[in-house]
Amino acid sequence: MSSGGFRFARGNLGKLLALPRYAWGALQARSSKRNPKLWVVGSAFGPADGALAFWRAAKALPDPPRLVWLSGSAEETAKARALGLHAVVDRDSAEAHRLTLRAGLVAVTHGFGDVDRYGVSGAVIVQLWHGAPVKKLHSDSPAVTSLGGLERVPGVAALMRRAYRTGTSRISLLPTASGFFAPFLASAFHLIRGEVKVLGEPRTDVLFTGTPEERGAASRALLAPHLGEHAGSRVVLYAPTWRDGDADPGVPTELQWLRIEELCERLDLVLLVRPHQLGVGEYNHSSSRVRLLTAQDQPESMPLLWGLHVLVTDYSSMLVDFVVTGRPLLLLAPDLDAYRASRGLYVDYGWLSGGRWSTDWDDVVDRLEALFTDPAAADAASAHSRELAARFHEWTDGRSAQRVAEEASALVAREFG
């Protein structure tokens, strides 16, 4: 599987070229009367994950607002309506611009482009984000604000940084799962007035709903169609993160694929490979024991996590959520030094990995074998996951979306009441 995908430099250049439209939108917003009972919601993931959880929690408020979903495609519109989100508008339409200018609240998971980016000025903005920060975000990372060499032009880099600061400083509420992550988010988004609040993340509520047995059964039911004749096998998920359009260095070699196949057959495992939906990597190897699970096959990862026996990843925020299961986490980082230099990490990788990470699939295979054949190795890995979970998740009651919706409603009331 391979895709060219989005790059930060290309996206940032588009933002600079669109500055006149942002300015015009801000002028329009000054003369638009915002309606505190109108909320618009959008997400680059479509109606799923945190945005969908927030929508449903807002609908359940004692005095719910009128909610409108701003959709990025016909397929997204159909899915939204099938989920019961009947007020759906094309986010690139004039109607979406008008609604965003009038909305008292705007909720997004990635950026303002999740809705109508030119109409958000003056609204209460809830940034739900889409993962706890392990890798550096926004202004904290030179890769995120890059312009592909154009930053060497005098004044352009400063203009880009100012554009980021101006945009993110509009955020009214950014919920997080733990105080551990709060300073990272505040720094990345230039939020210094308490906008980052430890309320839990709406997208993680599914991890804490029901008993562990019920969560496991629900996850296995979702995984089963992707496992073929091995629906009863133990499941290892490999989920590498995005590298800003660069090739994924974690793709196994042909010999390593053979070792993976042999291990899976011998220990009755299935390896599911879930590349980042914006990633680049040639994951062309497939068999009954090694299967590709794309975001198109299964849009949300959170509901799958309780059905996994091991997660293999690198710098993905998925690890933050997976550790609530208390199951082993293996980190594969063949490009750790380069990644730290270009993107940057908020956490010490040695601590995150429990003191050992792999640099190639040969080591991963050896460690997987130990986990499934040596109870002491499995116990130690599970203990480390539980230690991380205690640091990463302060709310485990499955009601984070409710807390965030209530806080958002209170912010709207204070702003427009």
How many C-beta neighbours within 10 Å does residue 375 have?
Answer: 9
pLDDT digits (tens, 9 = 90+) for 64-122: 999 999 999 999 999 999 999 989 999 999 999 999 999 999 999 999 999 999 999 99
CB-based contact 51:45 (threshold 8 Å): yes
What's the pLDDT score for residue 227? 95
Q: State the CATH number of the domain containing residue 385.
A: 3.40.50.12580
Beta-strand runs (E) in 155-261: 171-176, 196-198, 234-239
CA distances from 113 to 92, 128, 133, 342 (A): 9, 14, 20, 25
The phi and psi torsions of 269 (rounded to 5 degrees) equal -120, 160
Q: Indicate if 190 and 252 belong to the same structural domain.
A: no
Residue 3 inside a domain? The answer is no
Within a 10 A sphere around the Cβ of 249, how many other Cβ atoms? 17
For the stretch 296-349, pLDDT in tens is 888 889 999 999 999 999 999 999 999 999 999 999 999 999 999 988 999 999
- 237 and 358 in one domain? yes
List, for residues 242-257, the tens digit of each pLDDT value: 777 677 889 999 999 9
With CA atoms as reference, report the closest residue to 330 among 293, 378, 285, 389.
378
| Global pTM value | 0.89
pLDDT digits (tens, 9 = 90+) for 115-166: 999 999 999 999 999 999 999 998 887 766 566 666 666 666 666 666 666 7
pLDDT digits (tens, 9 = 90+) for 373-412: 999 999 999 999 999 999 999 999 999 999 999 999 999 9
Distance CA 90, CA 97 (A): 10
Same domain, 113 and 192: yes
Distance between CA 69 and CA 114 in Å, rounded? 10
Domain count, the chain: 2
Q: Residue 305: which domain range?
A: 210-392
First CA to last CA distance, the chain: 51
CATH of the domain at 402: 3.40.50.11820
Q: What is the pLDDT of residue 2?
A: 40
201 and 222 belong to one structural domain: no
Domain identity same for 192 and 232: no
